Amino acid sequence: MTSDDSGQQTRRVPGGLSLKNFTSPGKGPWSRVSDAEWNDWRWQLKNRLTTLDQIQPRLALTPPEAAGIKLSDHKLATAVTPYFFNLIERDNPDGPIRRQIIPRIEEMDTAPWEMSDPCGEDSHSPVPGLVHRYPDRVLLLVTDRCAAYCRYCTRSRLVSGVGDHDFHPNIEGALDYIGRHPEVRDVLISGGDPLLLNDEKLDWLLGRLRAIKHVEFLRIGSRIPIFLPRRITPELCATLRRHHPLWMSIHTNHPRECTIEMRDACARLSDAGIPLGNQSVLLRHVNDDPDTMKALQHKLLMMRVRPYYIYQCDLIAGSAHLRSSIARGLAVMESLRGHTTGYAVPQYVIDAPGGGGKVPVNPEYVIYRDHERVVIRNFEGKVFEYPEPQLDGQPSAPSRPVPLQETCSRSDE
């Protein structure tokens, strides 16, 4: 059973309720746990499912999943909060939530082009825990722990603490580096999940960063509103709002993740003045189809979360079974642009393998271009021509008349 927006009990439908509904996963197999415990984020963390013995009685695992869980302690640990676990469709062995968090034996297969550090972060790290890859911003990794572990995590080499990576961030060294680099105007705090730090530590860290005069803008990257929404307490929000301008990038992949609990957590953050953006990873059989992705973007907007990026899944070792094709990503983008409000259209990017940074990838809308004109197509496939202004003093002159019946008026949708 699930409860809907009005708190009424509704039966969970195989395949999910309408993708656009906000529901709560409820307690499921934890029905004997008190409401106070269930709603306590510390209880959720303490009772995460991390072993085969804990998961198997509650979910009929496939043999590849059981084998994957057994082996995950050598690569990227298994962990999922009871709350998020209850979003799994028990009757769908290929469901979108379990594909993200239940390991499979395929993770042990590594193709020659896959990497442990596909974004080249380690080679752009002047201080342990700090990545300086772009001119005006840095990434500060403050923890290697998350509330749950995503099987496609681009930092699986370091998160969860079971791999070979020696993660010992030098926070004082990082603060010193940022202070000595006036070009750094933007700090993204990530990990792991920084919202697993306690409020006092976050307050201290944000305060130290805010004290650096040239740092204009702070961001936190977190999946806590999705995995552990009750962690977004009023006290945490009061702490965060002391350090504005502070933005947050959350990471939602499928509309099922957008529950009543997540919506309430996002509302608390928004009410604290924190602009929210969402980053999704394009994942095979999770969100690599237009209907799912469009429903996700619409639900995000309903939660005051601006769709920000869709990432092509990085070439992380053992992720082939989760990666979708760029062709599918382009089809998803084609289905969004023009077909729904521009606020619901994130930027599709590939993080260039080896450390090249984010490269936007778009369906082709420019058909032809020379110094006199640009020929474009719109979302309906209609073709238009725009004359290039002649900036060297020559009058603007299209090489042929623009067909008036085809020109589209600009709308500010």
Binding residues for ligand SF4, per CB under 6 A?
Answer: 146, 149-150, 153, 155, 159, 191-193, 223, 251
Please state the closest distance from residue 8 (CB atom) to ligand SF4, in A. Answer: 32
- Which of 12, 58, 185, 358 is an active site residue? 358
- Which of 98, 104, 117, 153 is an active site residue? 153
Distance CA(393)–CA(42), nearest Å, equals 67
Pick between residue 49 and residue 212 the one whose CB is nearest to ligand SF4. 49
- Which of 58, 134, 208, 386 is an active site residue? 134
Please state the closest distance from residue 274 (CB atom) to ligand SF4, in A. Answer: 18
Pick between residue 145 and residue 263 the one whose CB is nearest to ligand SF4. 145
Please state the closest distance from residue 342 (CB atom) to ligand SF4, in A. Answer: 27
Nearest to 163 by CA among 116, 104, 99, 101: 116
List of residues 6+ apart from 386 with CB closer than 8 A: 373, 374, 375, 376, 402
Pick between residue 2 and residue 190 the one whose CB is nearest to ligand SF4. 190
Residue 237 known to be catalytic? no
Pick between residue 143 and residue 297 the one whose CB is nearest to ligand SF4. 143
C-beta pairs of 134-137 under 8 Å, 24+ apart in sequence: 134/357, 135/183, 136/183, 136/184, 136/185, 136/186, 137/184, 137/185, 137/186, 137/187, 137/188
Neighbours of 283 (CB within 10 A): 23
Residue 119 known to be catalytic? no
136, 178, 396 from 172: Cα distances, Å: 20, 10, 57
List of residues 6+ apart from 90 with CB closer than 8 A: 59, 60
Please state the closest distance from residue 320 (CB atom) to ligand SF4, in A. Answer: 17
Residue 155 known to be catalytic? yes
- Which of 314, 323, 348, 373 is an active site residue? 314
Residue 258 known to be catalytic? no
Distance CA(368)–CA(393), nearest Å, equals 24
Please state the closest distance from residue 353 (CB atom) to ligand SF4, in A. Answer: 18
Pick between residue 155 and residue 230 the one whose CB is nearest to ligand SF4. 155
Distance CA(280)–CA(245), nearest Å, equals 23
Please state the closest distance from residue 378 (CB atom) to ligand SF4, in A. Answer: 35
Residue 144 known to be catalytic? no
H or E stretch including 292? helix 290-302
Pick between residue 68 and residue 191 the one whose CB is nearest to ligand SF4. 191
Residue 48 known to be catalytic? no
Nearest to 163 by CA among 13, 36, 316: 316
How many residues comprise the chain? 413
Residue 208 known to be catalytic? no
Residue 313 known to be catalytic? no
H or E stretch including 350? strand 347-352
Nearest to 253 by CA among 63, 139, 398, 101: 101
- Which of 133, 208, 328, 377 is an active site residue? 133
Neighbours of 272 (CB within 10 A): 19
- Which of 48, 99, 155, 373 is an active site residue? 155
Residue numbers annotated as active site: 133-134, 137, 146, 150, 153, 155, 314, 351, 358
